[in-house]
């Protein structure tokens, strides 16, 4: 049963899962030309999963990211933090905006062939996975800064992605005020349990109540999706959100889906203002790029020079690890079409870290000197997560 769980989660819904589960390899060797780590000293076991946006009023850059800290119930507790920069090179940590929560849970029922039974009194942690930070100038002033993230219950270091997981949202008038903003349970997916709506037993939800939107019921192409890893972008016609969808059929099939909350009148908690644009990536896209690739995860949506890009991380069948980042140019953002040649995705740029190791989950911005890369250093004991600045730039055409 655990194998089935890990197999499902490693098919792409899990930027959070793999840094916690990836094994240590004593022979991982860092190159002498390794890119520069950012935010050194933050997190007991490091940092991961950056997302960068700009404050148009001050021109200051802001980053949301994950920090891996000490937990009483799990290998690590994952907090969400903010950092700021005036030049894109020197970053200052601005503190925690969403804390993990250790809980004692159970009993939790099995979820079909995806998740096993959990006994009463089991130790768990509500973790905060991949985040994306966006400035939405079309929103009311007190909602212009938006932080989306994946919140999931882990029990005995195993995630309950199908039953106790959702896409959450905070909104505020300034990034510094997101820490005190009320969290919203925005989207749930296929197989989500209503017992996750209670602040009490069996799951002790950190965001009680039903979701604003049952996203799997919004559109037929989302009907069996287990959602994760949000990536947001504000464009002239709407607020775009890319999500990983692990389609739970006889086996998990990985897609990247694109949603749009249309301007004017975008209300993120109103299902009527969201539209499912389509699938950006399909299960066939990974093997077409490289036969060892199972699919993609760890995505970002980026604008540069008037063009839009999807940054996606290939998932290798070699220990189900992240293997760098590929940049794909949109042919048409509004219709969710990436550039393809004879049906194959066209890679506009790539960025890699230490060969043979777990690395990917990139972020980019037109004002950054280069793409930011998440890297696991497995030579450390325990292993350490890093966000690294590279010299690989976004395409300009």
Q: Which domains, ranges and CATH numbers included, belong to the chain?
A: 2-389 (2.115.10.20)
Q: With contact defined as beta carbons under 8 Å apart, do 365 and 350 qualify?
A: no
Q: How confident is the model at residue 27 (pLDDT cuts 50, 70, 90)?
A: very low
What pLDDT does residue 4 have?
35
Check the CA dihedral 118-121-124-126 and report its sign.
positive
Residue 111 has a pLDDT of: 87
**Tens of pLDDT along 31-61?**
324 578 999 999 999 999 999 999 999 999 9
- Stretch 296-312: mean pLDDT: 97
pLDDT tier, 206 (very low <50, low <70, confident <90, very high otherwise): very high
Q: Is pLDDT at 24 greater than 90 in this prediction?
A: no
Across 88-102, 240-254, 283-297, the highest mean pLDDT is recorded for 88-102
pLDDT in tens, 140-177: 999 999 999 999 999 999 999 999 999 999 999 999 99
C-beta atoms surrounding 52 within 10 Å: 24
Burial class (CB in 10 A: 0-12, 13-18, 19+), 123: middle
Q: What is the mean pLDDT of the chain?
A: 91
* Alpha-carbon gap, residue 83 to 295, rounded angstroms: 30
What's the confidence (pLDDT) of residue 250?
A: 77
Distance from C-alpha of 248 to C-alpha of 242, rounded to nearest angstrom: 18
Structure confidence at residue 17 (pLDDT)? 56
Q: Residue 2: its pLDDT value, please?
A: 29
User: Which pLDDT tens digit goes with each residue over 317-371?
Assistant: 877 899 999 999 999 999 999 999 999 999 999 999 999 899 999 999 999 999 9
Place of tokens 């890893």: 229
Whether the bond into 108 is cis, omega within 30 of 0: no
* pLDDT for the residue numbered 6: 37
Residue 25 confidence (pLDDT):
42
Give the residue with greater pLDDT, 26 vs 373. Answer: 373
CA–CA gap between residue 116 and residue 125 (Å, rounded): 17
List pLDDT tens digits, range 246-269.
Answer: 998 877 889 999 999 999 999 999
In this model, does residue 314 exceed pLDDT 70?
yes
């Amino acid at each position: 049963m655990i194998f089935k769980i890990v197999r499902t989660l490693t098919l792409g819904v899990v930027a959070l899962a793999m840094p916690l589960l990836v094994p240590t390899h004593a022979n991982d060797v860092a190159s002498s030309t390794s890119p520069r780590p950012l935010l050194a000293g933050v997190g007991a076991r490091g940092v991961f999963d950056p997302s960068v946006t700009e404050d148009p009023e001050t021109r200051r850059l802001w980053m949301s990211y994950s920090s891996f800290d000490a937990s009483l119930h799990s290998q690590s507790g994952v907090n969400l933090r903010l950092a700021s920069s005036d030049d894109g090179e020197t970053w200052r940590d601005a503190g925690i905006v969403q804390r993990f929560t250790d809980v004692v849970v159970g009993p939790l029922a099995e979820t079909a062939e995806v998740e096993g039974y959990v006994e009463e009194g089991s130790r768990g942690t509500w973790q905060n996975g991949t985040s994306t930070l966006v400035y939405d100038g079309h929103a009311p002033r007190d909602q212009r800064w938006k932080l989306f993230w994946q919140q999931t219950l882990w029990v005995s270091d195993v995630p309950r992605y199908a039953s106790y997981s959702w896409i959450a949202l905070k909104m505020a008038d300034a990034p510094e005020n997101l820490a005190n903003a009320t969290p919203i349970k925005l989207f749930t997916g296929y197989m989500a349990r209503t017992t996750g709506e209670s602040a009490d037993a069996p799951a002790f939800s950190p965001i009680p109540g039903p979701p604003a939107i049952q996203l799997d019921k919004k559109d037929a192409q989302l009907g069996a999706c287990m959602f994760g890893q949000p990536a947001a972008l504000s464009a002239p016609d709407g607020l775009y959100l890319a999500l990983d969808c692990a389609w739970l059929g006889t086996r998990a099939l990985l897609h990247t889906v694109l949603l749009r909350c249309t301007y004017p009148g975008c209300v993120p908690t109103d299902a009527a203002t969201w539209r499912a644009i389509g699938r950006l990536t399909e299960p066939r896209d990974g093997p077409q790029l490289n036969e060892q690739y199972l699919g993609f995860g760890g995505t970002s949506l980026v604008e540069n020079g008037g063009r839009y890009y999807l940054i996606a991380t290939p998932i290798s069948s070699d220990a189900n690890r992240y293997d760098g980042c590929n940049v794909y140019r949109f042919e048409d953002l509004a219709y969710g079409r990436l550039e393809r040649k004879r049906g194959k995705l066209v890679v506009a740029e790539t960025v890699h870290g230490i060969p043979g190791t777990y690395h990917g989950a990139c972020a980019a911005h037109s004002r950054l000197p280069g793409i930011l890369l998440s890297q696991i250093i497995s030579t450390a004991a325990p292993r350490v997560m890093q966000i690294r600045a590279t010299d690989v730039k976004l395409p300009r055409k």
